[in-house]
Structure 1
Amino acid sequence: MKIVLFSDAHLMPGRMACGRDPFAQLSSALADVAAKHANAAALFVLGDLTHDGGAHEYGALAAAVKGFPVPVHFLMGNHDSRVAYREVFGGQGYVQGTVELDGIPFHLLDTLEEGQVMGSLGNGRLDDLERSLVRSRAPGFVLMHHPPISIGVPAFDLEGLSNRVDLHSCIARHSSKIRAVFFGHCHMPVAASVAGVPAFCIPSLVSPSMPVFDQPVYRSNPIGTVGYSVLLVDGPDFVIHNINLEPQPAAGRAYSQQEAAHVVC
């Protein structure tokens, strides 16, 4: 089974991120998937769908994926608005649940805390995951936006998941039912483990970052890659491929020093 993973699209009409047009980057990624991975069982987008959380941005996102050959599932990130998302895509409450594909559960978590950069699984969201894991008949995957662990980079660790200790305990209790955890937010590839379960950060579609280990600042990576990931599941085994996309600078313009020092997260 093949699964495609996007993260951190940061759609913002009329504005650039790191010298790139987020809508052009999303269109390029969707076209690449349609051409090469139309046989995927699903496309999951791990939050920060938009930059400002406006209904018009979600409307543009809905138009971009209309008629797409692969079923698309969205998660919430700190730049999103649950209310605006629901205005366009319908439904109510948290954007959370379990999608089962070929008998394998994909547990989608909503870590958005409106108005905050830091995420949370409070207000029953972690309890929902626990119940879903108890019901699961096969080991699956957990998907979320915020990092479920400290990655050793202060800018992200200070604004990560507020109740990650509780999440760790949940994962430890049900580790036999979780093959891996996927997350976004950091805009760079990261491989880790959570309570002994493998965890992977999906790169941003538009603005690559670099780790700064000694101070709590974000920094973009002017030579970093943007793109998406492909998950291949074969029985009890799985493989992750990071697919690099050719970035399209705005009007052929190179990075400025200011852009090189800042990343949208």
Structure 2
Amino acid sequence: MRLIQLSDCHLHADPSARSRTGIPHRQFVRVIEAVESCRPDMVLVTGDVSQDETAASYALAERELARLGCPWFWLPGNHDEPGLMNECRAFQETVDLGRRRLLLLNTRIPGQTHGALGEARLGALARRLAEDDRPTLIAMHHPPISVGSRWVDALGLADAEAFWEVLAAHERIEAILCGHIHQAFEHRRVTPYGDVPVYACPATSDQFLPGAETFAVDEAALPGFRVFDLDDDMRTRVERVAI
């Protein structure tokens, strides 16, 4: 099975609207074309689909994603309006990947840039992990780990340690997929049952400069996506897309 992760599209109702370094809709279309050539079995969008939180921006995303001819799912980021998103394409909490499963978490806090799960969502996650012993992928918008950039880390998952405490009781956590950081990223977190990799992918819109102490855009980096090939083992790579 081939799962492809997209993230941080930041679309506007106006397809010609500009971002810091380009036109998000045009870049999104180019990325979708490249994803299509990879023949995905499933596509996941890890938040910040919209920049202006409009129904029209979600309709633009839905139209392009529908071209892929495969199941696709999304979850909200800090820039999204979940009600409009869900009306356009209903959220899913669990996706069946055959011998694996994918859990989609909502880390959005209304009106805030950083994220959190909170006690209720953490409790629900613990119950969902306990009900199925298949290898599990977990997707969220905010990274639950430091990415080595001070300004980005201040806007991550506020209750990350509580999240890892929940995961510590479960053996078959295969990977964490997140968005929000607008860059390719890979790190591992040590747990009682072994290292758990945390992956992020390039944005389809602007890229952030890795390791920057304060906000900085990486004007040289291209948009892209992450590919996961899920067979007996899991392999992943990042693909960049020329605009």
Equivalence for 2:242: 246
Give the 3-state SS of the residue equivalent to 1:182 in structure 2: strand
Q: How many equivalent residue pairs?
A: 237
Matches within 5 A, 1:141-152: 141-152=137-148
Equivalence for 1:61: 61
- The 8 Å contact of residues 119 and 160 in structure 1, kept in 2 or not, is answered as yes
TM (norm. structure 1) is: 0.84
TM (norm. structure 2) is: 0.91
- Cα deviations by residue, 1:222-260 (Å, 9 ceiling, x for unpaired): 11121001101221x21111111002xxxxxxxxxxxxx
Equivalence for 1:182: 177
Matches within 5 A, 1:1-265: 1-12=1-12, 13=14, 14-37=16-39, 40-90=40-90, 95=91, 97-122=93-118, 124-174=120-170, 176-194=171-189, 195=191, 196-213=195-212, 215=213, 217-235=214-232, 237-247=233-243
Give the 3-state SS of the residue equivalent to 2:4 in structure 1: strand
- The 8 Å contact of residues 21 and 219 in structure 2, kept in 1 or not, is answered as no
**TM superposition shift of 1:89:** 2.5
Give the 3-state SS of the residue equivalent to 2:118 in structure 1: coil
- Cα deviations by residue, 1:109-140 (Å, 9 ceiling, x for unpaired): 11111111011112522222211111122112
Q: Flag structure 1 segments of 5+ consecutive residues without an equivalent.
A: 248-265
Following the alignment from structure 1 to structure 2, what is the Cα–Cα distance between the partners of residues 136 and 82? Answer: 27
Letter in 2 for 1:231: F
Letter in 2 for 1:31: E
Following the alignment from structure 2 to structure 1, what is the Cα–Cα distance between the partners of residues 167 and 179? Answer: 18
Give the 3-state SS of the residue equivalent to 1:173 in structure 2: coil
**TM superposition shift of 1:172:** 1.5
- The 8 Å contact of residues 8 and 180 in structure 2, kept in 1 or not, is answered as yes
- The 8 Å contact of residues 103 and 139 in structure 2, kept in 1 or not, is answered as yes
**TM superposition shift of 1:86:** 2.4
The percent of aligned pairs where both chains have the same amino acid is 27
Following the alignment from structure 1 to structure 2, what is the Cα–Cα distance between the partners of residues 111 and 61? Answer: 21
Q: Flag structure 2 segments of 5+ consecutive residues without an equivalent.
A: none
- Name the CA shift for 1:154/1:104 in 2 (closer, same or farther; >3 Å): same
Root mean square deviation of aligned Cα? 1.6
- The 8 Å contact of residues 93 and 104 in structure 2, kept in 1 or not, is answered as yes
Following the alignment from structure 2 to structure 1, what is the Cα–Cα distance between the partners of residues 54 and 33? Answer: 24
**TM superposition shift of 1:181:** 0.6
Give the 3-state SS of the residue equivalent to 2:180 in structure 1: coil
Give the 3-state SS of the residue equivalent to 2:228 in structure 1: strand
- The 8 Å contact of residues 99 and 135 in structure 2, kept in 1 or not, is answered as no
**TM superposition shift of 1:67:** 4.6
